[in-house]
Amino acid sequence: MISAGDFRNGITIEYDGKVCQIIEFQHVKPGKGAAFVRTKLKDVKNGGVVETSFRPTEKFPAARIDRKDMQYLYNDGDLYYFMDLESYEQIGLNKDAIGDALKFVKDNEMVKVCSHNGNVFAVEPPLFVELTITETEPGFKGDTAQGATKPAIVETGAQVYVPLFVEQGEVIKIDTRTGEYLSRV
């Protein structure tokens, strides 16, 4: 059990039947009345953010989030299959649990599968990936006044914006959190 007076950023608690992570907290001691803790909580399953206040003595159960490294194998229609490299156990997850997490992930790459009490709710791709550009338009000289970009399709089928000098067939590094081009490899 974690009391509201012990809140820290990043702590995960069970609140109102949901698993929530503390994004921000502030201990407030007004001139009159009792002290309270103002918090901003993020629901880890659906991403919603709620602002609420607690008395410092209120207690909440700590939620244990398990993050397990698994290998992404393939997708078969609406199911995506992952394998635990220690036990070779395979699990299939539907498209709702995955969302856009695998937009930049190739087959056989490692990802983190997040679960709470055995229920998988999210898949975290690696922070940076290296992918080959399969199609893009050629860049033209004279179009580089303000660091212009052009759309490019990478080998997973996702679209990213790259500088004009990047050509088809090149390998680029992408930040999976933002989907931004970082550099050529």
DSSP character string of 9-65: TT-EEEETTEEEEEEEEEEE--SSS--EEEEEEEETTT--EEEEEE-TT-EEPBPPE
Instruction: Supply the CATH classification number for the domain 128-184.
Output: 2.40.50.140
- pLDDT one digit per residue (tens) for the chain, 185 residues: 888 888 888 888 888 888 888 889 999 888 888 889 999 998 887 778 889 999 888 999 988 888 888 898 888 888 888 888 888 888 888 877 777 778 888 888 888 888 888 778 778 888 888 888 888 888 666 655 667 788 888 888 888 888 888 888 888 898 888 888 888 88
| pLDDT for res 176 | 83
pTM, entire model? 0.69
- Residue extent(s) of CATH 2.40.50.140 domains in the chain: 65-124, 128-184
Instruction: Supply the CATH classification number for the domain 65-124.
Output: 2.40.50.140
Instruction: Supply the CATH classification number for the domain 2-60.
Output: 2.30.30.30
